[in-house]
A and B are shown apart, each in its own frame.
Chain A
Amino acid sequence: DTEVTQTPKHLVMGMTNKKSLKCEQHMGHRAMYWYKQKAKKPPELMFVYSYEKLSINESVPSRFSPECPNSSLLNLHLHALQPEDSALYLCASSQADTTSYEQYFGPGTRLTVT
């Protein structure tokens, strides 16, 4: 299995809602990532998990809360989002300890905050 899967594909939520995005991979990768991508823009890194521990937080607001319950799963918990948080949220995974590596991306969750 060489795919990263993400659920849901689309999500519409109000500013007071709490929701979660899920990401799963079964490639044995020990590094997992969350990116935010606005239309016609490159992906912006949000978080990196390495061996299930948070290794990079790119100064993301606390209304985004990542979680890595095991080596195959990555969640992004959302609470009290703003309309400007509407975007495509991408998950990726890679080997954690190689000198040259490839990040495998999921198809993304299209989030709309109303």
Chain B
Amino acid sequence: AQRVTQPEKLLSVFKGAPVELKCNYSYSGSPELFWYVQYSRQRLQLLLRHISRESIKGFTADLNKGETSFHLKKPFAQEEDSAMYYCALRATGGGNKLTFGTGTQLKVEL
């Protein structure tokens, strides 16, 4: 069975500081990894997927299969980045099921 771990419930950084939200997974196969974000009073939305290797809103995430990690990074935090961030895994051959981590609340302070 697959599992996603986000060790930090809350991460507080100052505006302009670098941000790293940690995500580790356990899965014996080859997973698809995603980062979803939920801004206050808005719906859950996709931020990044590992397969596209893109940068969205300045965020990047690299899949490290050796460390089974998919950490989310941004060099300079902005106030509008404050939100709940969920790492999620889709098992290949596992149908359309997403397994979510417990989430990290990012707070960017001025």
Contact = CB atoms under 8 A, between A and B. Distances in A.
B40 to A, nearest CB: 13
A33 B96 contact: yes
| Size bracket of the A interface | 20 to 34
Contacts, number: 48
Interface stretch (A11-19, A37-45, A59-67, A77-85): A37-45
A90 B51 contact: no
Interface string A69-102: 0000000000000000000001000101001111
| Size bracket of the B interface | 10 to 19
A109 interface: no
A41 B43 contact: no
B68 interface: no
Contact of B100 (A31, A40, A42, A106): A42
A21 interface: no
Nearest to B45: A105
B74 interface: no
Interface of B: 32, 34, 43-46, 49, 51-52, 86, 90, 95-98, 100-103
